Structure 1
């Protein structure tokens, strides 16, 4: 047996988001997910929209106790912009939202759970999308900053870890390149402008945060980093992987962590006629907004090869420079669309952050092992669901993280996706990730065996294999 020991002050917990857990009860306004579900319910698995969630709004006290039962010492969720702000033009806040979030934060803090609060988790307010085009507009950049400042001012005495955006590339990919998020456009130039505007919004919010001088509080961003692996060692494949890394990882990682905009990225955008509208003042914001920590989300690797088939889209996407590739010798998760399992990618990500990004403090903000309800099975005689498959894979990934820590990585925690099986965008409840199963009929939280193992891990800071 080998024992893997993690630092004593390591953060153990889970991640979720407001829109995926709170429900729409007493919300000030709609988000794009509320709007899209009304317009196109057929786009959602079994037609289930964002009103079918874990109902944290009413059950947060119960849920915090469930967090304690599986050993959490920290938890990341998000504030819903469309819940907190009642009037986007004046910045008037919804007092019901203020009370709810304060109560939720107090409950976590009282029970020894460090809240980490994210400001944006794919949930653009519907009104701002319809009126201005969401982050297509610089107007919405400034409205986001106003919202962020309100959140800092109201909850800054309780929240020590703030996050500007979760996976900011996803709204770009989903909404403007590949049609899996609202507004379902396919426009390379708009995609680049939206990406740039999100980076600008992040930078401005970071600047405003530092002006407030909140004691002991830090601000960061959460990025989904997906290492790009080649088919083999041929040079054209290596070049394809370099492009994929530049366009999917460095496009946000470099401006937000290193405060640098890659020159190669600018050249690609110019070549394809998709250069965003910028000003020198905006660039100054981006190149000077220093974050305190980074969150990294990892699920699957990216496999690429040099293009062998002519690019046939009439708008720009990153795939102009490569083709995706399935590793014929890879391991695959039979419960999540046969996505590849590659725990060593955790080590590769960690060393990249260490060697190329100043070894900034970071945490594994999401790592999820997906199963479906059928594969998890029914609760046993003890009332617990046996999801040992999830625990076994988590151990493999944590072994690689432990190896990275021994190699000098500056990682301070691990948050699993997710706490209770939650509603997940157009997939709704197709995949299950939680420490607890959500019974969609009753709302009951059913414990899973993985949670018992995780509690031992959190309390002891170690596990054996």
Structure 2
């Protein structure tokens, strides 16, 4: 009897099974796409004014191509068509945001816009009719202008107003929405002059915002837990920026600097909720030390009281990460004795990208897939492996229909995601590609495109056309399995 052939078949079968497991996502893993209200909806005459609306009205040139989002993709009127695109792709969920000024035109809870409630009810019902799970972001960079007049995210009252707004959403939509993201948390415009409200207050502005954001999130979380969870059975999380910060060399100084940068740029929002509570120790110590050198009477970093620490800590069901790219970190504390202050000085590091890394149309977006694995493993090790959703991951180009660069970006990042799941044991529950449509990309307008579907912004009908990446993603979602294993990446 020939025993060699069966042995070879068995070995091949076992190898094939191992490769299949490595390339296969868990059966309960969820795939989706993402968007945000301001960037796709249009219908500006049916909502209140945002902070960006106000500043752009004063000076259209603040947007690099002098465009605006008054119509954008016109999803306010074309949501049925967008739902059909989602059905075509075969996604499990659609992450979208609700416009605060569309629900509450003045930002306050005393005036609810019934057309806004009707619009999102129709969108949510349409998604569910196609077996697509709504994942709703409550706030995504569209603060009503009247609230900025009060100080915006500098003002702790904004956290209370956010809680009121959240309650209205839970009441109206929570019977069907099972995944809530409180905030797409960022401090744009409060520590730099590039994004409205264009407050160049780095080293103070972002820290004041962090405290208000944390309290706003925790208020919404506890409100849901107390008044809605038992009946609605949903989950509440927060999305933060998930770029990876990698030491430029193997020197102790660069390794420590990279960890310091992670704590500042990820940990200031993550540690109070997902970690031991409060701002990270190195952040508190570093800002206090530099504040003293700068002759401040106390630290520029606001304190969280013991009651606030307890209130914020553990206020999550999952963590959302927007992960696009990676930076190299080199220790640089040469500014420590300067009188001026900034977050850059507090970091004590130089952030840069390797010019050899493949690029995109966006100058900041380099293709570094191993960085996704890096940040996921760091979150796992740092915060006891919380459930994670990749809430944004995408690639920019000029909007061409044959978008091979985007396909390669997705492939490489999904391969890195599989490595994180199977080799690092990271508790990742889902992945959302950014974005469903070419849309209004904030301060660069329509000059950079991230969509799976091309939108013709020169046509009033805003026709959508699937790109090669849409067809690729659709094909991938039919099998939930990558065709070939990635070359293993070194972290």
Same-fold call, TM cutoff 0.5: yes
Residue in structure 2 matched with residue 179 of structure 1 by the alignment:
193
Cα offset, 1:77, TM superposition? 0.6
Listed as ranges, the matches of 1:210-229 within 5 Å are 210-212=225-227, 213=229, 214-229=231-246
Question: Secondary structure of 1:464's match?
Answer: coil
Aligned 8 A contact 2:277 2:309 in 1: no
Residue in structure 1 matched with residue 48 of structure 2 by the alignment:
29
Cα offset, 1:338, TM superposition? 6.5
Return the structure number with greater relative CO, CA threshold 8 A, min gap 6.
1
**Matched residues in 1 for 2:89 and 2:109: separation?**
42
Aligned 8 A contact 2:182 2:217 in 1: yes
Residue deviations 1:3-62 (CA, integer Å, cap 9, x gap): 521122321121111111111344331111111110221110211122141111100001
Aligned 8 A contact 1:298 1:367 in 2: yes
**Matched residues in 2 for 1:87 and 1:125: separation?**
6
Cα offset, 1:259, TM superposition? 5.3
**Matched residues in 1 for 2:304 and 2:429: separation?**
35
The aligned length equals 448
Residue in structure 1 matched with residue 12 of structure 2 by the alignment:
none
Change (3 A) 1:392 1:191: closer
**Matched residues in 2 for 1:125 and 1:446: separation?**
32
The answer for unaligned runs of 5 or more in structure 2 is: 1-15, 292-298, 485-491
Residue in structure 1 matched with residue 352 of structure 2 by the alignment:
325
Aligned 8 A contact 2:178 2:233 in 1: yes
The answer for unaligned runs of 5 or more in structure 1 is: 377-384
Residue in structure 2 matched with residue 381 of structure 1 by the alignment:
none
Listed as ranges, the matches of 1:285-434 within 5 Å are 285-287=311-313, 289-307=314-332, 310=335, 314-320=340-346, 321-328=348-355, 330-337=356-363, 339-373=365-399, 376=400, 385-407=401-423, 408-434=425-451
Residue in structure 2 matched with residue 209 of structure 1 by the alignment:
224
Residue in structure 2 matched with residue 193 of structure 1 by the alignment:
208
Question: Secondary structure of 1:348's match?
Answer: helix
Cα offset, 1:334, TM superposition? 4.5
Cα offset, 1:66, TM superposition? 1.0
Q: TM-score, normalised by structure 2?
A: 0.87
**Matched residues in 2 for 1:307 and 1:451: separation?**
43
Matched, 1:250 2:277: no
Change (3 A) 1:93 1:366: same
Listed as ranges, the matches of 1:159-178 within 5 Å are 159-166=177-184, 168=185, 170=186, 172=187, 174-178=188-192
Change (3 A) 1:412 1:357: same
Supply the RMSD in Å over aligned alpha carbons.
1.9
State which structure, 1 or 2, has the greater radius of gyration over its C-alpha atoms: 2
Among residues 132, 135, 159, which one is paired with 2:153 in the alignment?
135
Residue in structure 1 matched with residue 121 of structure 2 by the alignment:
102
Residue in structure 2 matched with residue 46 of structure 1 by the alignment:
65
Residue in structure 2 matched with residue 457 of structure 1 by the alignment:
476
Cα offset, 1:86, TM superposition? 3.8
Aligned 8 A contact 2:325 2:372 in 1: no
Aligned 8 A contact 1:244 1:318 in 2: no
